[in-house]
Structure 1
Amino acid sequence: MPGKKRHYAEAFLNHGFVNTPQLNGDDRPQCVICLKVLTNESLKPSKLNEHLMKRHPLLAGKSRGYFEGKSKQLRGIQFGSGGMASEKLTAAVEVSYEVAYRIAKSSKNHTIAEDLIMPCTKLIVSKMCGEDQAKKLEGVSVSNTTIRRRVDDLAADILAQVVAEVKASPHKMFSLQFDESTDVSSCAVLLGYVRYIHEYSVKEEFLLAKNLKTTTKGEDIFNLVNDFLGMHGLEWNNVQQISVDGCPAMMGGNRGFRGFVQRENSDIHVDHCALHRYSLASKSLPESLKIVFDQAVKVVNFIKAKELNSRLFKELCKEMGQKYEALLYHTEVRWLSRGKVITRLFELREAVEIFLIEKKSGLAEYFSDPHWIAQLGYLADIFVELNKGNLSIQGKCVTVIHSKEAVAAFIAKMKLWIKRVNRGVLAQFPTLDMYLEGLETENEPDFTEALKGNIADHLGQLVEKMEEYFPDLDTTNMGWLTEPFRCLDSQVDDDDFPAKEEFIALRMSEALKIDFKEKNLDAFWIERLQDAPTLATRALNVLISFSTSYRCEQGFSTIVGLKTKKRNRLDVENDARIALSTTKPRIAKLVVDMQAQPSH
C-alpha cells in the first residue's frame, strides 16, 4: 500500500525548507542551504530538523528570516536568466537523469547511485580535483526515491515517443507480439512489443510489461491490452498481425485472446509463434532414440546432482586434458538445451566412463556399448542441426518470409539426408561418421543397419511434424515483393486492379531498378507508398508482421535480472522499458520541464 501523501506547511521554512512540487502533484521539501530535495515522507518537522542538525549544525540556531533570505536566493537560482547558478542547477538535474538512465539501462538497483556511484565520484573528484570541486556534487540528487522518479519520467518519455511514432507512421498499420510468463515473486507478467514503419525502415520497440493481477485467461490478457491501446489512442483497426505462443489462453478461437481480438477486428491475423512451433516439431523422437536420450540425461544428472561428484569430475577432466570440465544440465523449456547437453556429453564420454566406473555406477555400461555411443553421436549431430535451424529464425526484424524460407530449407535438407541414409551414407552427420570410422570394421555390421533405420525413421518423423506445424511454407508467390524486377509478370494477377497497373509501371522503370539494388527492402517499399500505394501497402503489411515472439522471450531474460529475490516487490514496467527500448529519452526536455516547476 502506498504511504499517505504529506503536504508542505509554511512553518517548515523555520527548518530551512521550501516546497518543490512534482509533476505528479506531490509536495517535496528542498533544503535552501544544500539544495537537496527530500522525499514526500520527509515532510515532518522531526525529519527536516534531523537534516538540518546533521548536514548544517552551525545553522541550527538561525532565525526564520535567515532562511527566508536563502529562499529568495534559491528562487533567483531557479528562475535566473542564464546565470551561472541557474546553469549549475540545470546541470545537477540533467546529471541526475543521466545517472538514472544508465542505472535502468544496465538493470541495476536504484540504490546503487547513493550507495556506490556518488561516494566513488566524490572520492575521485576530491582526490583528483580537490575538496572544493567535490562539494559541487552535493547538489546532485541521487537518492533511491529520486532515481525511482527519474526512471518513471524517462520511461514515460520513451513511451510517449513510441506512441507518437506509431501514430505518425506513413503506413498506418502496426503489428504486435505478446507472451506471458511468471517472475520470481510468482506474478504473471505480460510482455509486448510493437513493429511499425519509422523513417524509411521497420522498427521494433518495447510496448508494455503489465502484471496480470489474478487469472491469466484470454479475456484477462485482452482486457489488459485493450485498456493499454485505448489509453494511448491506438486502435484495433490499425493492427495488422499479432504473434503469440500456442497456449489455449492465447490461441483459443472463442474464449482465448485470439477470439476476443478477432471479434474486435476480424482482419487481424493472430499467429502461433514460429519458434514455438519449431520447438514442438523438433521434440519428435523414435522410441529407441528416446531411450538413449533419457539415459544420457540420467548420466548427466548423476554427475551434476551432487556437488562432490561435480568437483571430482572437474578434476578428472583437468587431469585428462579435456577441452571442457563440466557437463550441462538439460532444461526442457530452453530451446537449444538438448543439443548442447548431448554434444558436451559425447565430447567428454571417455572421462564420463572412467568417472562412472570409479563410482561403480551401472550407468557406465552404456559407454562400453558401441551402438549406444553411435546413437548418442547421431543425437548430437541432429540436435546441432535443429539448433541451427532454430537460431536462423531468431533475432530482430525477422520477417514471415525469412522464417518460412528457413524452415522450408531445413525440411528439404532432411529429405536429402533420408535419401543419403537409405543409400548407406552418413557423412552428413560428422560426429557419428567420425566415431564409426574409428571402430573396428568387424564390429560395424552388428548395429549399423539398425542405426540407419532409426535415423531414417527419426528424420521422417521430423519432416512429418515440421510439415504439420508449418503447413504453408510456399513463398514463390511473394516474388513480386522480394524480387519485383526478376519475378514472373504473372505474380500479380491481371484482374487485380490497380495493383497490376502499379506493378507494370514499377517493372518498366530503370530508375526504380537501380533504387531497388541500392536500398534495403523496407526503404524501397516505404518509398513506393506514393507511386504504388496498393502494392506498397501489401508489401509493408508482410514486412511489419512478426513471425515469432522472440523479442518477448529475450525481454523475459532481462526481467529475470531486474526482478530478483531482493527486489521482488518491484513493478518492472518502467525499468524494463528503459532496459529494452532502443528509443532514447529526451533528457534535455525533461530537465526543462522539471525546471519550469516553481518553489513556494
Structure 2
Amino acid sequence: MAEDVKKTLIERIKSSSYYSIQLDETTDVADLANLMVYVRYEHDGAAQEEFLFCQPLETRTTAELIFQLLDAFVQENGLEWKKCVGVCTDGARAMTGRHSGVAARIKEVAPEMRWTHCSIHREALAVKKMPDGLKSVLDSAVKSVNFIKARPMQSRLFQVLCDEMGSEHVQLLLHTEVRWLSRGKVLSRLFELHREVQVFLEDKNFPLSDVFYDTVWLSQLAYLYDIFSHLNDLNLGLQGLSINVFDVQDKINTMLKKLELFQIKVKAGDVSAFPAIESFLSENELTLDDGVRDNMVAHLVSLRQQFRQYFPVMTEDNSWMRSPFSMEASGLPKNLTVAEQESVIELSCYETLKPAFRKQSLVDFWIKQHRIPRPV
C-alpha cells in the first residue's frame, strides 16, 4: 500500500509543471540523524503538499551528503531538477553555504530555484535573545524541570506528591531546544505546578528550591509563561497547508504590532495582556515590581527588533498578486516585462474572476490562471 501511495505521488509530481521542496534535518528518539523532505506541487489546478521521503544520515551530515541523498531520490524516481523552483531549509551553514551548501548545489541543477529560510526556524531564532534577568529565570526553570524529569524515580515521586496535593496535572514537561513549542509548554506546566515543585525541591535539598518562594522570580516566570504562549500561537499560525510568504508577513506584522501594544501597556504598569502574571499579582496582593517591569519592557523591545531582523519588510514587487483587480497602469510592478504587465492589466479587468479570487487561496487562484480562456 505504501508503495502505491509513493507511486501515485511521484506520478503527480512528474505531471506538475513545477514543484518545491522543504528539507528538515532532525534527530529521532535513538539520537540518529534523519533527512526529511516535503514537497509542494500542482495537481488538478491546486497546490498539494505531501511528505516525500525520509532517509537516515549515517555519517556526518555534510551538505554534499544531503545533496547526494536528494539527487539519488530524484534520479531513481525519474523526477526533473529543472522543475524545482523552490527550496526551504533552516539557516544552517550546511544548507545555506554560498558555494557548497545544499541550496547552492541544487541551484547548479535547478537554475530557477529560489531558496527560502524556514519561517518557523526564523521565529525560533528571533525569540532566543532576552534580558539577563529573564534568561536567569528561564535557566533556573529549565534546570528545576530537568532535575525532576531526567530521573525516573524523581519523576514518579513528584507524581505521587501532585496526586496528594490534588493537582490537575501530575507531570512536568521536559525542555528541549529542538522542539519549537517546547519552551512555552514547559513554562506553562511549571508555573501551574510551581507550589508542588517548591515542596518537592525543598524536600530534595535542590539548590534552586528557594527561587520558588521569591515572588519577583515567580512574577517573571509567569510573564515568560504568558509571552511564550503568545509566541506559540504565532508559531502554530506559521504552520499548515497553503501558507505563503504573504501569510507569513501578515502574521509577523500582527505580532510586531501586538508587541508594541504590550510594551506600551507594561511600561504604564498594565499587565492585562498577560493573564498569568496578572492573576499571580492579584492573588498574592502584589504590585508589579519595577525591576520585573523593566525586564518585561526590555524583552518586548528586543523581540520586536529580533523579529524585524529575521523577517525584513517585504518589497512591494509582488504585492499586486494580492489585489490584482485594483491595479492601475501607473502602479504596475517594475520587475515584470511589458508583455507580463499587459497580462496583469487584462486580468484586472475581468470581473468574472473576482468571485474565484475571493473563494480560493491565493496560490490556487494563480495556478489556475494559465488555464482560464480569455474573452475575445
- Same-fold call, TM cutoff 0.5: yes
- Whichever residue aligns with residue 437 of structure 1, its letter is S
Q: Are the structure 2 counterparts of residues 224 and 419 from structure 1 closer, same or farther at C-alpha, using a change threshold of 3 Å?
A: same
CA distance in 2, matches of 1:312, 1:160: 51
CA distance in 1, matches of 2:308, 2:271: 24
Partner of 1:161: 8
CA distance in 2, matches of 1:290, 1:465: 16
Q: Does 1:499 align with 2:344?
A: no
Partner of 2:244: 399
Q: Deviations over 1:391-437 (max 9, x none)?
A: 11112332222122212221221122112222222111111112122
5+ long unaligned stretches in structure 1? 1-100, 102-153, 534-600
CA distance in 1, matches of 2:65, 2:100: 10
CA distance in 2, matches of 1:454, 1:290: 10
- Whichever residue aligns with residue 396 of structure 1, its letter is L
- Whichever residue aligns with residue 66 of structure 2, its letter is I
Residue 486 of structure 1, CA deviation: 4.6
Contact 1:507 1:513 in 2 (8 A): no
CA distance in 2, matches of 1:403, 1:467: 13
CA distance in 2, matches of 1:263, 1:531: 34
Q: Are the structure 2 counterparts of residues 451 and 532 from structure 1 closer, same or farther at C-alpha, using a change threshold of 3 Å?
A: farther
CA distance in 1, matches of 2:132, 2:154: 30
Contact 2:23 2:38 in 1 (8 A): yes
Q: RCO (CA 8 Å, sep 6+): is it higher in 1 or 2? A: 1
Contact 2:74 2:80 in 1 (8 A): yes
Residue 240 of structure 1, CA deviation: 0.8
Q: SS at 1:485's partner residue?
A: helix
Percent identical residues: 38
Q: Does 1:317 align with 2:157?
A: no
Q: Are the structure 2 counterparts of residues 422 and 205 from structure 1 closer, same or farther at C-alpha, using a change threshold of 3 Å?
A: same
Contact 1:477 1:491 in 2 (8 A): no
Contact 2:87 2:116 in 1 (8 A): yes
Q: Deviations over 1:174-224 (max 9, x none)?
A: 111122335567664322222111012101123233344544321222233
Partner of 2:321: 481
Residue 296 of structure 1, CA deviation: 1.4
CA distance in 2, matches of 1:160, 1:320: 55
Q: Does 1:514 align with 2:320?
A: no
- Whichever residue aligns with residue 161 of structure 1, its letter is T
Partner of 1:126: none
Q: Does 1:196 align with 2:37?
A: no
Partner of 2:304: 463
Report runs of 4+ in structure 1 exceeding 6 Å deviation.
Answer: none
Residue 366 of structure 1, CA deviation: 1.2
The 5-angstrom pairing of residues 443-592 of structure 1 reads 444=287, 448-473=289-314, 478-486=318-326, 490-493=330-333, 496-531=337-372
CA distance in 2, matches of 1:318, 1:185: 32
Residue 276 of structure 1, CA deviation: 1.1
5+ long unaligned stretches in structure 2? none
Contact 1:178 1:244 in 2 (8 A): yes
CA distance in 2, matches of 1:361, 1:340: 23
Larger Rg: 1
Residue 222 of structure 1 is aligned with which of 67, 91, 110? 67
Higher mean C-alpha displacement, 489-498 vs 394-403? 489-498
CA distance in 1, matches of 2:311, 2:198: 41
CA distance in 2, matches of 1:214, 1:314: 40
Q: Does 1:390 align with 2:235?
A: yes
Q: Does 1:423 align with 2:263?
A: no
Contact 1:479 1:491 in 2 (8 A): no
Contact 1:200 1:522 in 2 (8 A): no
Q: Deviations over 1:325-365 (max 9, x none)?
A: 12222112111111111111111122222333444444332
CA distance in 1, matches of 2:373, 2:366: 9
The 5-angstrom pairing of residues 251-270 of structure 1 reads 251-270=96-115
- Whichever residue aligns with residue 52 of structure 2, its letter is L
Q: Does 1:280 align with 2:125?
A: yes
The 5-angstrom pairing of residues 325-340 of structure 1 reads 325-340=170-185
TM-score (norm 2): 0.89
CA distance in 2, matches of 1:491, 1:165: 38
CA distance in 1, matches of 2:165, 2:80: 64
CA distance in 2, matches of 1:371, 1:338: 20
CA RMSD of aligned residues (A): 2.6
The 5-angstrom pairing of residues 198-213 of structure 1 reads 198-213=43-58
CA distance in 2, matches of 1:464, 1:525: 34
Q: Deviations over 1:237-267 (max 9, x none)?
A: 2211101122211111112112222233443
Contact 1:196 1:203 in 2 (8 A): yes
- Whichever residue aligns with residue 307 of structure 2, its letter is M
Higher mean C-alpha displacement, 288-297 vs 464-473? 464-473
Contact 1:328 1:341 in 2 (8 A): yes
Partner of 1:82: none
Q: SS at 1:498's partner residue?
A: helix
Higher mean C-alpha displacement, 372-381 vs 456-465? 456-465
Q: SS at 2:341's partner residue?
A: helix
Contact 1:284 1:461 in 2 (8 A): yes
Q: Are the structure 2 counterparts of residues 462 and 526 from structure 1 closer, same or farther at C-alpha, using a change threshold of 3 Å?
A: same
Q: Are the structure 2 counterparts of residues 518 and 248 from structure 1 closer, same or farther at C-alpha, using a change threshold of 3 Å?
A: closer
Contact 1:166 1:174 in 2 (8 A): yes
CA distance in 2, matches of 1:165, 1:360: 61
CA distance in 1, matches of 2:56, 2:87: 20
CA distance in 2, matches of 1:282, 1:220: 31
Q: Deviations over 1:18-67 (max 9, x none)?
A: xxxxxxxxxxxxxxxxxxxxxxxxxxxxxxxxxxxxxxxxxxxxxxxxxx
Q: Are the structure 2 counterparts of residues 453 and 532 from structure 1 closer, same or farther at C-alpha, using a change threshold of 3 Å?
A: farther
- Whichever residue aligns with residue 336 of structure 1, its letter is L
Aligned residue pairs: how many?
373
CA distance in 2, matches of 1:487, 1:436: 52
Q: Are the structure 2 counterparts of residues 303 and 205 from structure 1 closer, same or farther at C-alpha, using a change threshold of 3 Å?
A: closer
